[in-house]
Amino acid sequence: SQTIHQWPATLVQPVGSPLSLECTVEGTSNPNLYWYRQAAGRGLQLLFYSVGIGQISSEVPQNLSASRPQDRQFILSSKKLLLSDSGFYLCAWSGMTNQPQHFGDGTRLSIL
Amino acid sequence: DQQVKQNSPSLSVQEGRISILNCDYTNSMFDYFLWYKKYPAEGPTFLISISSIKDKNEDGRFTVFLNKSAKHLSLHIVPSQPGDSAVYFCAASGDGNKLVFGAGTILRVKS
Taking an 8 Å cut-off on Cβ atoms, the answer to whether A46 and B32 are in contact is: no
Q: Which of B:23-82 have CB within 8 Å of A? A: 31-32, 34, 36, 41-46, 49, 51
Lowest mean pLDDT among A12-26, A42-56, A65-79: A42-56
- As a whole number of angstroms, the distance between CA B22 and CA B89 comes to 10
Tens-place pLDDT, residues B35-81:
999 998 889 999 999 999 999 999 999 999 999 999 999 999 999 99
- As a whole number of angstroms, the distance between CA B59 and CA B62 comes to 5
Give, as one character, the DSSP assignment of residue A29. S
Consecutive H or E run containing A76:
strand A73-78
- pLDDT band for B1, please (50, 70, 90 cuts): low
Chain A residues touching B62 at Cβ < 8 A: none
Tens-place pLDDT, residues A41-62:
778 999 999 999 999 999 887 8
Helix-then-strand count for chain A, H and E: 0, 11
